[in-house]
Structure 1
Amino acid sequence: MMKQDIALVVVDVQGKLARMVHESEQTIAKITAMIKGMQVLGAPIIWLEQYPQGLGPSIEEVSSLLEGKQAIPKVTFDACGTKEFMLQLKESGCKRIALVGIETHICVYQTAVSLMKHGYEVQVVTDAVSSRTVENKQLGLQRMQSEGVKLTGVEMLLYELVQSAKSEHFKPILNIIK
């Protein structure tokens, strides 16, 4: 398995909020596809939870895929304000970050912009992020893009990382995306 130079950061896919966001079922399906894809590719995955005592734990669809990993609890909307997150990010050795999760206009947005200020190249996976309203999702994506964050999609990013239909990872990724 080749080591990827990109880490996946899963932002706050928790409790009732995960079920309340715009197009929650599709978003959750895309988030889980992204996690599975990055696992196939051997990329580091960092998993965040916003105030789990209040919002509840990550939903089963996500936590079951990340068994053996510990979610990093945070109270700051910007994950870079959480020491443990910055430590795991540094330990990953990755300078490129892909973000998935909720909510687009709050925690995903603040984390993306802050990561850029810390010198990371940030890609937000647009079909694997959401907010309670489509307007807030769009606003979050627009603001991130205006601040230099790159936009991508699950298929776009995974195939970009696979690079070739001859890759050993092509078939497993194809099966995840189908």
Structure 2
Amino acid sequence: MLKREDTVFVLVDVQGKLARTVHKSEQLIQQLEKLIAGMNLLRVPTLWLEQYPKGLGETVPELTKHLEKNTPIEKITFSACKNDDFMNELERVKRKQIVIAGIETHVCVYQTAAELKALTYEVQVVEDAVSSRTLSNKQIGLEKMKSLGIKGTSVEMVLYELMEKAGTTEFKEIVKIIK
């Protein structure tokens, strides 16, 4: 189970034209908006990645409006674990549970999740908040992650696990976000 004090969210490369051309892009962006808003409300830190923004463009505005307190970590490696700035930030937050989402499932999400798992982090991929240009590549990426012991989850499941109970102000706000 995810614990709020142990969890960090890693948002991977939801940028420019690519973000608009992946499989079910509108649905992906909507799910990521819910996830980011929920993580903010629950005060779970977000590590925000951008793959070569000079070439791919910036993160889509639907998401950046929820990331005002964050600064993107630029990378050129497919795995964020090969980026010193990312690894330094990950060390700084001192959390061992990783929730990961973004694009593309079979490239940067997969490679980052696989290396985090190899570094002994507990990694969960948010299956309804990842995508690739093709559905088959998304499915292959998810299958490979699961074969490594990376657990699948969903936006709602993550947020409810982190909340732990109903009847709180946070619960009421999360329900508004999810609906």
Q: TM-score, normalised by structure 1?
A: 0.97
Q: Are residue 4 (structure 1) and residue 5 (structure 2) matched?
A: yes
CA contact (8 A) 2:4 2:162 kept: no
Number of residue equivalences: 177
RMSD after superposition: 1.1
Structure 2 counterparts to residues 8-157 of structure 1, below 5 A: 8-157=9-158
Deviates more, 1:164-173 or 1:10-19: 164-173
Q: State the shift of 1:37 in Å.
A: 0.4
Shift of 1:5: 1.4
Give the deviation of 1:63 after TM superposition: 1.2
Identity over the aligned pairs, expressed in percent?
53
Alignment partner of 1:162 is 2:163 = yes
Q: Over residues 85-140 of structure 1, what are the superposed CA-to-partner deviations in whole Å (9 max), with x where a residue is unaligned? A: 00111111110000010000000000000001111000000000000000000000
User: 1:15, 1:59 within 8 Å by CA — same for their partners in 2?
Assistant: yes
Other-structure match for 1:174: 175
Give ranges in structure 1 of 5+ residues lacking alignment: none
What TM-score, normalized by structure 2, do the two folds share? 0.96
**C-alpha displacement of 1:3:** 5.5
Query: Per the alignment, do residues 149 and 3 of structure 1 end up closer, same or farther by CA in structure 2, a change over 3 Å counting?
Result: closer
For structure 2, which runs of at least 5 residues remain unmatched after alignment?
none
